Amino acid sequence: MDSVTRLGVVGCGLMGSGIAEVAALGGLDVRVAEATPDAVEAGRRRVTASLDRGVQRGKITEEQRDQARARLSFTHDLSDLSDRQFVVEAVAENREIKTDVLRTLDKAVEDSSAILATNTSSIPVVDLAVATERPGQVIGMHFFNPVPVQRLVELVPALTTSPDTVQRTRDLATQLGKQPIQAPDRSGFVVNALLVPYLLSAVRMVESGGARPQDIDQGMELGCAHPMGPLRLLDLIGLDTAQAVAESMYEEFKEPLYAPPALLRRMVAAGHLGRKNGRGFYAYD
Ligand code: CAA
């Protein structure tokens, strides 16, 4: 099987924009789909700003940026992904929305051997796979935030996923400069199963008045050499996303450590979603 040259990305939020950027820089023809023309424009701005930052930081040349931009196209119509060989969906962490997107993609993508990958963090991949007519070609491909920086990709085959799909997805991850690991199709996979209880414990520590956010974060940054403490990291991930991930994990395991603490729910209800909208455990410009 030839390597992937035409990639589709559905959703151009934090994760989708990073995936699109990395793939375009990696030489792929990338078509990005968002739900509405406004969301398309917001997504385009996000990718463009990140490529510009890459130039300012000396990570990429202006020529690489311009070439990557030329390889990117945007649409608000999923049927424009009909000629894609591989599509990664990175829409909101919501079972109904993701199921709907996969069903629509399944009909829209003409090549019946094309792979549909989901960037879900916590929804069982098999549930999404069986919603399509090609369960052998549906797989979890879980990137980490910020996508241009984090090297890991979790490959999550469902019980229905074919070995060929796993191999082609592994090859694509490598082609994008990522290091794949294989993870079980259980909510949270490998990384979030370990990370989420830790992040939620930090929220409970704030909730109980045990410590201030800046002390918790400094504790883990300076004491354990983590690049960012748990509350800063929650702000980066997005509190709504973290809550959705924790809920999926709690639904699967009924493990109290995965239950979103009341403070997290209240912050999400208040619209304090983290960096993406300027306010979470910290305030951002
Ligand atoms: N795009 C490209 N490069 C970026 C970038 C971006 N968006 N953000 C940062 N960088 C690069 C910078 O250019 C810099 O590179 P050099 O060191 O070569 O100059 C490097 O990353 C460090 O950046 P900064 O100096 O600006 O900032 P920092 O040192 O504070 O690092 C960070 C920022 C990369 C986000 C770092 O703090 C970090 O790795 N934090 C942990 C992130 C993490 O744990 N992510 C996983 C989240 S869990 C998840 O995603 C899964 C899920 O399902 C919820």
Query: pLDDT in tens for each of the 285 residues of the chain?
Result: 678 999 999 999 999 999 999 999 999 999 999 999 999 999 999 999 999 999 999 999 999 999 999 999 999 999 999 999 999 999 998 999 999 999 999 999 999 999 999 999 888 999 999 999 999 999 999 999 999 999 999 999 999 999 999 999 999 999 999 999 999 999 999 999 999 999 999 999 999 998 999 999 999 999 999 999 999 999 999 999 999 999 999 999 999 999 999 999 999 999 999 999 999 999 998
Give yes or no: residues 83 and 18 share one domain: yes
Residue 173 maps to a domain: yes
Residues labelled as active-site residues: 121, 142, 154, 192
Residue of the nearest CA to atom 19 in ligand 1? 57
Asked if 245 contacts 194 with a C-beta cutoff of 8 angstroms, the reply is no
Q: Is 59 exposed, middle or buried (0-12, 13-18, 19+ CB in 10 A)?
A: middle
Report the distance separating Cα 280 and Cα 70, nearest Å. Answer: 35
Q: What are the residues facing 6 on neighbouring strands?
A: 29
Residue of the nearest CA to atom 21 in ligand 1? 149
Give yes or no: residues 118 and 206 share one domain: no
Give yes or no: residues 29 and 51 share one domain: yes
Give yes or no: residues 220 and 80 share one domain: no
Residue of the nearest CA to atom 1 in ligand 1? 148
Give the pocket of ligand 1 (CB within 6 Å): 50, 54, 57, 59, 121, 144-146, 148-150, 192, 227-228, 233, 237, 245
Q: Which of 147, 182, 217 is the last residue of a domain?
A: 182
Residue 165 maps to a domain: yes
Residue 32 maps to a domain: yes
Q: Does pTM top 0.90 for this prediction? A: yes
The parent domain of residue 109 ranges over 6-182
Instruction: Extract the tokens encoding 206.
Output: 């704030």
Number of domains in the chain: 2
Give yes or no: residues 109 and 247 share one domain: no
CA 232–ligand 1 middle distance (angstroms): 12
CATH number at residue 199: 1.10.1040.10
Residue 224: half-sphere exposure toward Cβ, Cα within 13 Å? 9
Give yes or no: residues 89 and 225 share one domain: no
CATH number at residue 16: 3.40.50.720
